[in-house]
A and B are shown apart, each in its own frame.
Chain A
Amino acid sequence: MKIGITYTIMRKEEMMLRERAKDYGEVVMLHDSDVIFPQSYDLDVVIIRNVSHFKALYLAKLFESAGIPTVNPFHIILEAGDKLLATLRLSKKVKVPRWGVAFDEKSVKQVAEMLGYPIVSKPVFGSWGRLITKINDDDALEGIIEHKKWLSNPLYKIYYFQEFVKKPGRDIRSYVIGGEFVTAIYRYSEHWITNTARGGKAVLCDDEEVKEISIKAWEAFGEGALAIDIFESEEGLLVNEVNPTMEFKNTVKATGVDVAEKIVRYAVEVAKR
């Protein structure tokens, strides 16, 4: 078995994945600078770990069209990696925060009125809490839209909003790989943005309801290895988003679960299909 791992920077996660993959066969590490197409690659599966969402997306499609399956596959990276597309899928299977999207400054206010302040503005392709903004009134909304006007990337003009969900000083990150619930953590933070990239503390979460909603959220996509972010709202659990290129070093520390092993084993299964 020949397992490829594509990556942009060699983080702890990539090192863990490489060590686990060695147990299953030959491992080929493919830094951004190592890969060009068209070119043939003698690999049975590729684990896509590029920290750049769009590099991950294109690499998945290129390897797939060369007949080499990837984890995650192109369509999962595409739909799970985009907050609006993910919300569309998730909302068919699980409860999600109320959301709205507008495509022009003139209609943004209608979405804000539909949701009711406070609302949260999020770039559809963002991560690590980047450019996530809590908006409490029309003045702030106007300011955010004005700023977005001058951001060059056209994706910032997809005005995606969620209702602001009051959280108990934490949210939940769970992992479902190949349909199997792997583990979950609470991420504690004083700040309303709770991901551990911003210093949130990670603690094991052992809750049957979290397990159930995580599996349902994964079923909305039906394939792949997904990290799922969940809010504990006053109306119960809400799935906020899913992540296709999961970080997990803090989760391994907090839970003792060998997430890298689970990803590699799943990739080997995919290779054998």
Chain B
Amino acid sequence: MVECPVCGAEIEVGELELHQIIECPVCGVELEVVGLDPVVLEEVPEVEEDWGE
């Protein structure tokens, strides 16, 4: 289990990868896996002016 950095909910996570994007099932925020051992989650970086296709 890993704690959501935004709402503090305990999130059950399966196999994860570095920089993978997951969603907190409680508050719905998008989180990025920034550490694996131990698992560290951060809010996905803010959309920048030049982000897109």
- List chain A positions with a Cβ less than 8 A from chain B: 7-11, 15, 31, 51-54, 125-128, 130, 153, 227, 243-247
**Which residue of chain B has the shortest Cβ distance to A53 in the bound complex?**
B50
Q: For the complex, give the distance between the alpha carbons of A127 and B52 in Å.
A: 5
CB pair B21 A128 closer than 8 Å: no
Partner of A127, one of B19, B20, B45, B51: B51
- List chain B positions with a Cβ less than 8 A from chain A: 17-21, 32, 44-45, 47-53
CB pair A10 B21 closer than 8 Å: yes
By CB atoms of chain B within 10 A, which of A10, A54, A246 has the most?
A: A10
Smallest beta-carbon distance B14→chain A, Å: 14
Contacts of A247 in B (CB 8 A): 53
**Which residue of chain B has the shortest Cβ distance to A229 in the bound complex?**
B53
CB pair A9 B53 closer than 8 Å: no
Contacts of A31 in B (CB 8 A): 18-19
Contacts of B45 in A (CB 8 A): 8-9
CB pair B53 A11 closer than 8 Å: no
> Main SS of the interface on chain A?
loop
CB pair B51 A128 closer than 8 Å: yes
**Which residue of chain B has the shortest Cβ distance to A246 in the bound complex?**
B53
Contacts of B48 in A (CB 8 A): 52
Q: For the complex, give the distance between the alpha carbons of A77 and B18 in Å.
A: 27
CB pair A244 B53 closer than 8 Å: yes
**A53-B52, A227-B53, A244-B53 known; A11-B18 Cβ under 8 A:** no
Q: For the complex, give the distance between the alpha carbons of A128 and B51 in Å.
A: 8
**Which residue of chain B has the shortest Cβ distance to A247 in the bound complex?**
B53
By CB atoms of chain B within 10 A, which of A8, A15, A51, A126 has the most?
A: A51
CB pair B21 A127 closer than 8 Å: no
Contacts of A227 in B (CB 8 A): 53
**Which residue of chain A has the shortest Cβ distance to B50 in the bound complex?**
A53
CB pair B21 A9 closer than 8 Å: yes
Q: For the complex, give the distance between the alpha carbons of A15 and B19 in Å.
A: 11
**Which residue of chain A has the shortest Cβ distance to B32 in the bound complex?**
A9
Contacts of A8 in B (CB 8 A): 45, 51
CB pair B51 A52 closer than 8 Å: yes
Smallest beta-carbon distance B42→chain A, Å: 11
Q: For the complex, give the distance between the alpha carbons of A157 and B1 in Å.
A: 49
Q: For the complex, give the distance between the alpha carbons of A8 and B45 in Å.
A: 9
Contacts of B19 in A (CB 8 A): 7, 9-10, 31
CB pair A51 B52 closer than 8 Å: yes
Q: For the complex, give the distance between the alpha carbons of A112 and B32 in Å.
A: 43
By CB atoms of chain B within 10 A, which of A9, A130, A246 has the most?
A: A9
Contacts of A11 in B (CB 8 A): 21
Supply 8 further A-B pairs (C-beta < 8 A) apart from A9-B44, A130-B52: A52-B48, A53-B52, A125-B49, A125-B50, A126-B52, A127-B51, A127-B52, A244-B53
**A10-B21, A31-B18 known; A128-B49 Cβ under 8 A:** no
